[in-house]
Structure formats: structure tokens, C-alpha cells
A = this chain, B = another copy of it.
Amino acid sequence: MKSIRLICFTLLFLFSATGFNSTVYAQEHVDIEAYRDDAEKIINAAMKDNQKFEYLTQFADRFGHRFSGSESLENSIDWIVNEMKKDGFDRVFTQDVKVPYWVRGEESATLMSPRKKNLPMLGLGGSVATPEEGIEAEVLVVSSFEDLKEKADQAEGKIVLYDVPFTTYGQTVQYRLRGAVEAAKVGAVASLIRSVGPYSMQTPHTGTSRYEDGVKKIPHAAITLEDAAMIHRMSDRGETIRILLEMDAKTLPNATSRNIIAEMKGSENPEEIVVFGGHIDSWDVGQGVMDDAGGCFAAWEALRIMKELGLRPKRTIRVVMWTNEENGLRGGNAYRDMVMGNGSLENHILAMESDGGVFEPKGFGFSGSDEAFAMIKEIGKLLEPIGSNNITRGGGGADIGPIMREGVPGMGLVVDGSRYFWYHHTAADTIDKLSAEEYNKCIATMAVMAYVAADAEKTLPR
């Protein structure tokens, strides 16, 4: 996920929150007592065994990572669509989406001086290649963009290394996003960052980065926390650091990917839609199961449970697996364009996303009107049995961001995120980092919320 977007939403909506005297409204419009039995059935169905986790595991093992443009992503989409058709949902379809197609290629970084050492690394998404012989240059270590400004006159012809320890994702990711541009502006020939994460076992993290028109595109990569800190210490001791960076990355013409959409039609107001899901693409390392096959599959399993239990809500429920969240957000934008184009945006009454890893769920962060918030809080009470009943202000998700900006109330599943950034965009984002019990709770949480919001007497107000 791109948490920076979440943070923007959080700030936006925190400052626009206006008061909470709407509990009466909520109670009038969602009679949660009427849903206690259904909620219990859903929770029991979600929690009953490890089969759903085994299913996710098989998917992760079978396809591995699913990067935009890759065969693996499209094969995994084919497989999911086929399985969803077997599920017998009312409607399963895909939406073509043009996505960027960046290919990492061979790459390496080697500390050449003061001593030779291989530096585990990952090129950052969108980076240009080095010349074939690589770039070997002296390294200028900086602690921040301000520090770079102060040392600007030393940067010419050097590789800039941003050694910036993790604080929050929103802050630290700036060096991944803007590092190459700022380094190029002062004459650097390449830029490296300390990987964006709070903990490392020589673990490089990839992720997207940006260039700017009119600023030279220089290669941009991440090394590990350990090595960035070591090189920084060496530099502080007055040693001359030289690194050889070799990257073979290239950007190919846009590829075609797809959003996946599965629906259960509403029994009374089928034109009104509750949409929820995650993103099916991942970075090109690990299994991309925490980020975010887990979120996609949790939504899918939630819909399956409703179908199995014969719970058809008044309004339509739509599971969407968006494509290309990681390096383009083209799936989320294309979905917005589609629902704006066919006039159904106004009928999207709620959007939910799970993109923080399917760890122990805590509840939801909601962005919308006070009345809607009160109603969601009321529904949240049904989640007390599994402890995911904490509904707070502010939240959303990258993929639902485009429709939220058009006025759709939105919310993000909130989970125990204590290790999320250990694995985020690394080879260690693998199924073993998740657990069946926590995953099942996420499924139950999404299912209860989606079902009751879609079935409540009154439509969730904007």
C-alpha cells in the first residue's frame, strides 16, 4: 500500500470532522440487534477452519509475486476469474487497464572502497539503468534533503546515499520517491537510499520512485539498513567511500492488465453498491501476500461466506481486486473512470479496502460524514466478539482513493501493523508471515461490515 495516501486522507478528514451528535440517527437506521444472528453466523463461518488460509497459501505458492506487466500477474488474474466463475457469483467480469511495465533486470551494488563488499540491493521502480559498465563513483552520505542542500557543492559526479532512519512511512518514503530528482538537481550521477523499513536482516526494500521533467534521470536503488548505517559511519570517520552500481532496468511500453470484479446483486436496491477489496498486483519480490493478495482474498472469502449462508443484502456487494496499485494506481483510477462513465458512482454508498496486511484486525478507519460514521460505528459493535470493533475517524485506501475523492464514503481495515514495514516490498513478504486465525478474523470483519452496510434499512448517507 502507499500509506502516504492514507495519511493524506487521515489529515483531510480529521480536520473536516465536525461533531458527533448523530448516534440517534445511527440507531434509527441500523438496528444491529436484528443482525446479531447473521453476524454470528458469518463469524463462525469465517473462523471455522484453516481451509481459507490454505487456499491463499496455494495461490501465493503457485504464482509468487505479481508485478504489473508480468505474466505472473495476468496468469493469476485468469486463475482467480476462473475460480470466481465456479463460485457462481451473480456476475464476474474484468476491466482492462493499461499499466506501466518496468523490468528490473540484473542489478548489483558493490562497495569498492574502503573495502570490497557486496551490498544487497533492490533497484527502485521506474529507475533508469546504469551504463553497461555500471557507475562507479565516490559516495556522498546525507541524512536528509536539508543535509543534501547544505552539501550541494560536494555532490557533483557522486553517488548520493540518503541514510535516513525510518520514522513513519509517510516521512521516510520521501527519499525513495524524490531522492533521485533531488540528487540529480545537485549533479549526482546516481542515488541510493536506506531501505524504507524499521528492521532489517540485510533486507532491501523496493518501491516506486519518480522523475521530474527537466531533471536528469539518474539510477536510483535501495540498500539495506545495515549497509547504509555502516557506510554512513565510515564516511563520518573521514573514509572515502566508492560504490559500483550496476543496473539493467528498463521501462517497456505499457501493458494491459485487468481489475477483477465479482458481484452479488442486491435484493431490493441492486443499483446501490458497497464495494470492497484490495490490489492484486504486487512488487516483483516475495509473494506479495501481505501486500496485498491477503486483502483481495479476504474480500473474496467474505463474499463467498455470504453466498454460502444465503445472505443476500438489499444492496449490491461488489468485490474488486484492483490492478497496478504499486507503481501507477491505474486500476483504482480506471475503476473510478468506469463508474463515473456509466453513472454508477453516485450509487456507490461505501468503499472498503484492506491493504495493511491481513494481520490481527482492530477495526476500521472511516472517512465520510458524521452521520455515516455514527452508522458504521454502530455496525462495528457486531465485531466485538472478535475484537475488531474499533471504528475510528480517518482512513481509506490507495485503490479506493479515486472514488473517495469523488465523494464516496470510504474506509480501510485497520490491523496490528507492528511488523508490516519489516516485510513491505521485500522478498520476505511471504505467506509464513501471516496466520490462519488472523486472516479468518479479517475475513469475518470485512464480511460483517460489508453485509450489514449493504443491508441496513437506510442507505449510508454521504
Residue ranges of A at the interface with B (Cβ–Cβ < 8 Å):
57-58, 61-64, 114-115, 117, 120, 200-203, 225-226, 229-230, 233-234, 237, 286, 422-423, 426-428, 430-432
Cross-chain contact A233 with B57 (CB below 8 angstroms): yes
**In the complex, what distance in Å separates the CA atom of A430 from the CA atom of B200?**
11
A203 to nearest B CB, angstroms?
A: 5
- Interchain nearest-CB distance for A149 vs B (Å): 28
Complex-state Cα separation, A233 to B57, whole angstroms: 9
Given A202-B426, A203-B202, A422-B201, also A432-B226 (CB < 8 A): yes
Interchain CB contact under 8 A, B226 and A117: no
Report B-chain residues with C-beta under 8 Å of the C-beta of A120. 427
Whether B226 lies near A62 (C-beta < 8 A) is no
Q: Is the CB of A201 within 8 A of B426?
A: yes
Offer 13 A-B interface pairs, CB within 8 angstroms, sorted by A: A58-B233, A58-B237, A61-B230, A61-B233, A62-B114, A120-B427, A200-B428, A201-B422, A201-B423, A202-B428, A225-B432, A226-B430, A226-B432
Q: Which B residue's beta carbon lies closest to that of A203?
A: B201
A63 to B63, CA, bound (A): 41
A62 and B225 contact, Cβ closer than 8 Å, known pairs A201-B426, A423-B201: no
* Closest partner residue, chain B, to A229 (CB atom): B432
* A126 CB → nearest B CB, Å: 22
A118 to chain B, nearest CB (A): 9
- What's the minimum C-beta distance from A356 to chain B, rounded to whole angstroms? 19
Give the contacting residue for A202; candidates B62, B225, B427; CB below 8 A: B427
**Chain B proximity of A44: nearest CB distance (Å):** 27
Known contacts A202-B203, A225-B432: does B426 contact A234 (CB below 8 Å)? no
- Chain B contacts for A423, CB-based, 8 A: 201
B64 contacts A428, C-beta separation under 8 Å: no
Closest beta carbon of chain B to A393's beta carbon, Å: 34
Residues of B near A202 (CB, < 8 A) are 203, 286, 426-428, 430
How many whole Å from A79's CB to the nearest CB in chain B? 13
For the complex with contacts A62-B114, A226-B432, 5 further pairs of A-B residues with Cβ separation under 8 Å are A57-B233, A62-B115, A64-B115, A201-B428, A230-B431
Cα distance A234–B58 when bound, in Å? Answer: 8
List the B residue with the shortest CB-CB distance to A199: B201
Minimum-distance CB pairs A-B, first 5: A201-B428, A202-B427, A201-B201, A226-B430, A201-B203
- In the bound complex, residues from chain B placing their C-beta under 8 Å from that of A428 are 200-202, 226
Q: Chain B's nearest CB lies how many Å from the CB of A387?
A: 26
Chain B residues within an 8 Å CB radius of A226 = 428, 430, 432
Residue from B61, B200, B286 in contact with A234 in the complex, judged by beta carbons closer than 8 Å: B61
Complex formed: what's the CA distance from A61 to B62 in Å? 41
Q: How far is the CA of A237 from the CA of B229 in the complex (A)?
A: 43
Inter-chain contacts of A115 with B (CB < 8 A): 62-64
Please measure, in the bound complex, the distance between the C-alpha atom of A71 and the C-alpha atom of B257, giving whole angstroms. Answer: 52
A57 to B229, CA, bound (A): 11
CA distance A225 to B430 in the complex (A): 11
Complex: chain B residue closest to A225, CB-CB: B432
Least CB distance from A294 to B in Å reads 16
CB nearest neighbor in B for A202: B427
Contact B430 A230 (CB under 8 A): yes
Q: Shortest CB–CB separation between residue A142 and chain B, in angstroms?
A: 19
A63 and B114 alpha carbons, distance in the complex (Å): 10
- How far apart sit A77 and B62, CA to CA, in the bound complex (Å)? 49
Residues from chain B with Cβ under 8 Å of A233 in the complex: 57-58, 61
Tell me, in angstroms, the Cα distance from A439 to B426 when the chains sit together.
31
Q: Which residues of B contact A431 (CB under 8 A)?
A: 230
The answer on a CB contact under 8 Å between A64 and B117 is yes
Assembled-state Cα–Cα distance A57/B234 (Å): 10
CB distance from A223 to the nearest CB of B (A): 12
The closest CB in chain B to the CB of A58 belongs to: B237
A226-B229 Cα distance, complex, nearest whole Å: 27
- Report the separation of the CA atoms of residues A427 and B233 in the bound assembly, to the nearest whole angstrom: 18
With both chains docked as a complex, state the minimum distance between the C-beta of A74 and any C-beta of chain B, in angstroms. 14
